[in-house]
């Protein structure tokens, strides 16, 4: 009986990396976009509106690209 430990390990590493990176990117994206329109009673945003927009948009675009690659894997 041969157990494909290599493939199992690869699945673990790839899925861990992909999921953690996407989650982090979306979180940062949300933080960035939240800085665009601070509410008067809300907390002080960490970034200026312009920087927040740039960071947020970049993070979300990269996350979207990873998701598109996931779609590509389903279809292909």
By the criterion CB under 8 A, which residues form the site for other proteins? Answer: 1-4, 7-8, 10-12, 14-16, 18-20, 22-24, 26-31, 33-35, 37-39, 42-43, 45-46, 67, 70-71, 73-75
Whichever of 11 and 54 has its CB closer to other proteins, that residue is 11
CB of 6 to other proteins, least distance (A): 10
In the structure encoding, which two tokens stand for residue 43, read together?
């907390």
């Amino acid at each position: 009986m041969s157990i494909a430990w290599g493939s199992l390990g690869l699945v673990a590493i790839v899925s861990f990396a992909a999921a953690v990176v996407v989650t982090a990117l979306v979180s940062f994206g949300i933080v960035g976009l939240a800085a665009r329109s601070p509410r008067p009673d809300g907390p002080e945003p960490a970034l200026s509106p312009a920087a927040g927009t740039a960071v947020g948009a970049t993070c979300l675009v990269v996350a979207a690209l990873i998701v598109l690659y996931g779609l590509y894997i389903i279809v292909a």
